[in-house]
Amino acid sequence: MSEVQALPRVGCGVAILDEERLLLVRRKRMPEAGHWGLPGGKVDPFETVSAAAEREILEELGIHIEADHLLGIVDQIDRERNEHWVAPVYLVRSYEGVPTIMEPDALAELGWFRLDDLPAPLTQSTLHAIRCLKAPPGGHPSNSANSRVEPAGT
């Protein structure tokens, strides 16, 4: 008998901006293998979400960040794959170190992209986080049926 995964699961993402360029990574693993997305990952039991974001960025990219500014919350639901992820996304504008792929089995490449010149395809959660980045202060990005983002502070 296969183990049943409790839903929803908790993840985290980080939008790292450097002079209006966004750091994205291209995924090798499912879901959304081959898509560009925000770095991040799973929250471990008894770990705070901000600590998980800082740990994931260090593990994936070898840089130190402080996850202290919540950009929004991505609520990604994929009924066909029986997956539901809730992922707070942090906005980071400074970091220590040089972003380098530290997990070559999981990430194919990384790149810096202007918000008006993003690569394709993008992960669903990244599309919604970008809507949050582009939303006017106090505004709400549009939502879709399968994945949506709730702006921080609502």
User: Tens of pLDDT along 25-71?
Assistant: 999 998 899 999 999 999 999 999 999 999 999 999 999 999 999 99
Residue bearing tokens 């921080």: 152
Q: Does residue 1 sit within a domain?
A: no
Residue 56 resides in a domain: yes
Percent of the chain with pLDDT over 70: 86
- CA distances to 9, 36, 43, 56 from 103, in Å: 22, 15, 17, 11
Residue 29: which domain range?
9-151
Strand ranges, E, within 1-151: 9-18, 21-27, 36-37, 40-42, 70-78, 83-92, 107-114, 147-151
CA dist., res. 149 & res. 87, Å (int): 9
pLDDT at 144: 38
Q: Using pLDDT thresholds of 50, 70 and 90, give the confidence band for residue 81.
A: confident
Residue 118 domain flag: yes
Residue 92 confidence class, pLDDT cut points 50, 70, 90: very high
Q: Is 58 among the domain residues?
A: yes
Half-sphere exposure of 53 (CA within 13 A, CB side): 23
Flag whether 3 is in a domain: no
Asked if the structure places residue 98 within a domain, the reply is: yes
In a domain, 22, yes or no: yes
The tokens for 38 are 């925000």
**Is position 129 within any domain?**
yes
CATH number at residue 29: 3.90.79.10
Q: What's the structural domain count of the chain?
A: 1
